[in-house]
Chain A
Amino acid sequence: MNNERRKIEFVTKATGGFRGIPMMLFGIAMIISMILNYITELDSQRKNYAGKDLTISLSFILICLIIFVIGYPKLRAYFRKKFGQTKAKPKTFQTVLECFLYSTPILANGLFNDSIDAARRLPFSLTVLSVSVFTFFLWWFNYRGVTNSILYLSALIFAASFLDWEKVFLSVTILEDYYARTAFYRSVCSLLLGIIYFVMGLVDYQILTKTLKPITREEEVYESV
């Protein structure tokens, strides 16, 4: 009974703000920016670092803008027609906390990337661990009682944080140069985050489409009459 209640609460809140689709788009944007990141870093080895970071940030913002401006309004209109709409309650402390949680891995990724390279002697990867903790909190606040997929994802990332990433990178890349390996490492972190966002978006979308019964064409016509 409580799970059903949680599911209704989740679906109602999700319908007011996002439907998983923006998260999926955000994930795709991160994956594309990862590829750009890798190409840019390889292309400008040992050159201006500030310039590189600016290029990456700008390209990510640009990709996000293009995807959201073109894709989001159309998808939103489609879902509104099929599943209706709710108006979200005014922002509360928990909403602010959730926004902070969503941006945490990006901040952690940006802050720790270089320092992890310098302190590789740690038995675990701080970046990957921070992503795992973020995913766990996200499950606790948003998905507990609704789905455990995000919890399993968090456990998987937690286990992955104990891998010797340097060895993994060396085994999967033929790049010998230090800068090229660092570029690859940075790109993999972005790719990981992109995949997480994409998976979370997909989970949201699955829950919504399974819980809500789409309004058929006949009913739409009936409603408009």
Chain B
Amino acid sequence: MSLFKEITELDKLLHEPARLAIMTALANCASADFTFLQSLTGLSKGNLSSHLSKLEEAGLVKIQKSFVGKIPNTNVSLALTGVEAIEEHWKKLDEMRASAKTWKPEVEKASG
């Protein structure tokens, strides 16, 4: 498959910068709370909620709501499909990065 076609076929749900940061962070811990994800991405509470809802709808993350004392606490962790999806996505990006280094216009013309 041509490099450019691969780029256009990337999973947009995962490739959006904020969601990619959230998924990458979650892949490196058992779970993270809402405050951490907010301080990591720098998003507003509403924006972060919206991104998390999209990821939850796609079955990539699991959201658990609880109380620590009287303060609400939202914990987010990766679902099994999410673990596979983010690993696969980073693998694709790494491969594309490697092939972009050796990319030449003639080769692209011949194959595409």
Contact = CB atoms under 8 A, between A and B. Distances in A.
Interface of A: 1-2, 5, 8-9, 11-13, 15-16, 80-90, 211-215, 219, 222-224
B21 A8 contact: yes
Given A8-B24, A12-B29, 4 more contacts: A8-B28, A86-B25, A88-B30, A213-B39
A219 B48 CA distance: 13
B111 to A, nearest CB: 25
A83 B34 CA distance: 10
Contacts of A219: 38, 45
Contact of B38 (A12, A13, A80, A215): A215
**B-side interface size class:** 20 to 34
Contacts of B38: 84, 213, 215, 219
Contacts of A90: 30
Main secondary structure of the interface of A (DSSP, over half): helix
Interface in B26-57: 26, 28-40, 42, 45
Contacts of B35: 80-81, 83-85, 215, 223
Main secondary structure of the interface of B (DSSP, over half): helix
Interface string B47-75: 00000000000000000000000111001
Contact of B28 (A1, A13, A80): A13
Nearest to A15: B36
A93 to B, nearest CB: 16
